[in-house]
A and B are shown apart, each in its own frame.
Chain A
Amino acid sequence: MPEFLLSARNLFVTMVTAGLYAVFLQNLVFSGGFGATEAIRAARKNGDIPFLSAVITVFTTLVTIIARLVLGTLPAWLGQRFAWIVGVYSAVLLLLYLLVCGTAALLKVRWKRYLLTRMGMAALNTLVMAVPLISYRMGQTLPQAVAAGLCAGIAFAVASLLVNSGMHILQQNKSIPAMFTGVPATLLYTGLLALAFTGFTGAMLAV
C-alpha cells in the first residue's frame, strides 16, 4: 500500500478513536459537568438541540485549530503558566464569537434574530472552552484535538436527548413523590446517566 494511503488510514483511525472517546467514554457533559446547564435547558426545548450542537461543534473545532496555530507562533515561556494558555484560548473564542455575531448582525436575513438570541448560550459555555483545553492538557495531537472538537457537538446532542427523553418519562410518571418532581428528579436522573458514563471510563468506585 502506498505510503500516503497508510498515513491517511492511520490518521482516519486516530480521529475516529478520538471522536468516539469524546462522545462516549469522556462525554464531558456527564463525566465533567461541562455544559450541563445548557444541556438540561436544551433538553427542555429539544427544538434547539441541533442548533446548539452545530454551534458547539464549529466553535470548538475552530478554537482548537486557531489557538494551536497562535500558540505555535508565541514564545515558549508563555506555555509555562496555564493562565496564559487559557487567556489565548479565551481570546480566540471571543474574537470568533464577535466575528460571527457581528457578521450576522449586519446581514438582513430571516434567521438573524434566531441566531443572535441563541448564540450567546451556544458559543460561550463551559463545554466549548473545556474540550480544547482538555485536549491541550492531555497532549493530544492536532488531528485528535480536531476530532474531539468535531464530536463535541455530538456528545452534547447525545446528552441533551438522553435527558429530554428521561424528562418526558418522569413527567408522565404519577407515582413520583411530590418532593422529587421537577428539578430534583431531573438532576437525579442526570446523575444516574453520569454514573453510567463514568462506568465507561473504567473508573473504580470500590476501594
Chain B
Amino acid sequence: MNQEPAGHLEQRSSAEKNKKPSWTSDAFLQNPILVQAIGLAPVVAAATTLRASLIISLVCAAQLVVCEPLAGAVLKKLPGWLRVAVYYVLGLALTLPLLYWLELRGDVAVTTLGLYLPLLALNSLTAVRCERFAVLHTPAECLRDALANALGYAAVALVVGVIRETLGRGSIWGREFMSMNIRGLWMPFGGFLLVGALAALLKVILRFLSERGIYSGADEAMELELDDRQERLEKTQRLLENKEPEPAPEPEPRREPAGESIPPSEPEIEPPQPLSLAPPVPAAREEPDAGQPRRIPLEEFQEMDDPMRIFESKVRPRIDKMAEQNTIRLAEIDKELESMLERLDDLRP
C-alpha cells in the first residue's frame, strides 16, 4: 500500500486522530459552512428557495452517509488521490439518476437548481470530511460524524433558503403570501452576505453560551477561524519547545604585538575540594549575554505563573534573613544600653 502523504485535504493532526464525534460540536461549533467555510457553492448560489435547499441538504446528507463510512472501512487503504476520485464517482452515482428523474418529471427544481444539482457530486464537504476524519476513524464513528455534519449543513442551507425565498420572492415552498421582491437575495452575492451574517450570528450565540457557562465547549468554536488549526498548533508547540542555544562564537585569535612574544599561560591547577556533607548547591544559572534573551525552561516558566510560589521561594527567605539580622542587631543595642545605664548608676554620687 502506498503511504499516504499529508496535504491540503489530509491534515492529520493528533487532534483529529483523537477526536471523538459529537453532535453539537460537528453540527454547530464546527459547522461546515459557517465555521469551516466548506461546501459554499450550492448554499450561496443555489439555495434560493426552501425546496431547493431541501434537495441540496438531502443530496449532501446522502453523499456523506455513503462516503464517510465507506472511507473509514475500505477506502483508507487506497492512496489519497485515488480516494478523491472514488468520492466523485459515488457522488455522481447519487446525483445523476436524481437529475435524470427530475428531468423526466419536468420538475421545476431542475430550473431552480440548474447546474448545481449535478455539481453536488463535487461538493468539497464530502472530500474534506472524508479525508480529515473518516480515514482516521471507525465506520461507526464516521457514520455519526456524517450525520452530524449533514445536520449542520442542512440547518444552514434551510435557513438560507427560507430567508431568501421569503424576502426575495415573498413566498414559501412556491406559495406567495406577501409582496416582496429583493432581487439581490437571489444572486450569489446575496448568498455570500447572508451566510457571512449567519456566521457572525453563530459567533455571538456561542459566545453568549460560553459566558453564561451553559456550554463549555463553545470556546473551541471561537478558535475555529479560517486559519488552519494545524498550523497554529504547530506554531504554539514550536514556541513552547526548548530550542538548543546558539553555539558560542569562536574567540578571536590573539594577535601578538610586533617584537614581543607572549609566553604561553601555565595551566591552572585546581585546588583539592574539601569534603563536605552538605547537599550540593545547584549550579547558578548562566546569565544571558547582553542582548540575548535567556531561554526559560518549561518547568520554570510554569512555576513563574504562580505568584504565591514566587513569594514563598524567593521573597520570604530574604525577609526572614533580614528579620533575623535585625533581631540580632536590636539585641546588641539593648545590651549596650544596659551596660551604659549601669555605668551611669556607678558614676552617680
Contacts and interface: CB of A to CB of B under 8 A. Distances in A.
Interface of A: 30-38, 40-41, 44-45, 48, 81-84, 86-87, 90, 94, 97-98, 101, 105, 113, 116-121, 124-126, 129-130, 133-134, 137, 167, 178-188, 190-192, 194-195, 197-198, 203-207
A126 to B, nearest CB: 5
Given A34-B119, A190-B192, A182 B44 contact: no
A83 B100 contact: yes
B191 interface: yes
Contact of A198 (B34, B79, B110, B187): B187
A33 B45 contact: yes
B81 interface: yes
- Pairs A-B, 4 closest by C-beta atoms: A117-B7, A191-B192, A187-B196, A182-B225
Nearest to B202: A184
B291 to A, nearest CB: 29
A51 B34 CA distance: 27
Contact of A105 (B81, B192, B199): B81
A184 B199 contact: yes
B96 interface: yes
Instruction: Label chain A's interface by main secondary structure.
Output: helix
B112 interface: no
Contact of A203 (B9, B187, B203): B187
Nearest to B228: A44
B230 to A, nearest CB: 12
Instruction: Label chain B's interface by main secondary structure.
Output: helix
Interface of B: 2, 5-10, 34-42, 44-46, 79-82, 84-85, 88-89, 92, 96-97, 99-100, 103, 110, 115, 118-119, 121-124, 127, 181, 183-184, 187-193, 195-197, 199-201, 203-204, 207, 225-228
Contacts, number: 194
A88 B119 CA distance: 13
Contact of B6 (A117, A121, A184, A203): A117
Given A37-B124, A187-B192, A121 B9 contact: yes
Contact of B115 (A134, A179, A197): A134
Contacts of B183: 203-207
A185 B7 CA distance: 26
A126 B200 CA distance: 26
B8 A187 contact: no
Contacts of B192: 33, 36, 187-188, 190-191, 194
Contact of A119 (B81, B92, B119, B228): B81
Nearest to B118: A86
A73 B18 CA distance: 52
B195 A120 contact: no
A43 to B, nearest CB: 9
A192 B118 CA distance: 27
A117 B3 CA distance: 12
B226 A83 contact: no
Contacts of B188: 30-33, 194, 198
Contacts of A198: 187-189
Given A98-B85, A179-B200, 10 more contacts: A33-B42, A34-B119, A94-B88, A117-B6, A117-B10, A120-B80, A126-B123, A184-B200, A184-B203, A188-B196
Contact of A97 (B37, B85, B99, B203): B85
Interface centre among B8, B38, B100, B123 (most CB of A within 10 A): B8
Contacts of A36: 40-41, 44, 192
Given A35-B41, A44-B226, A187-B196, A105 B2 contact: yes
Nearest to B92: A90
A33 B226 contact: no
Given A31-B188, A33-B40, A33-B45, A120 B84 contact: yes
Contact of A41 (B8, B35, B193): B8
A48 to B, nearest CB: 8
A120 B84 CA distance: 6
Nearest to B120: A126
B182 to A, nearest CB: 8
Contacts of A83: 96-97, 99-100, 103, 118
11 contacts: A32-B41, A33-B41, A36-B40, A41-B37, A105-B81, A120-B84, A124-B88, A129-B122, A137-B115, A183-B36, A198-B187
A81 B110 CA distance: 12
A113 B7 CA distance: 9
B97 to A, nearest CB: 8
A62 B200 CA distance: 41
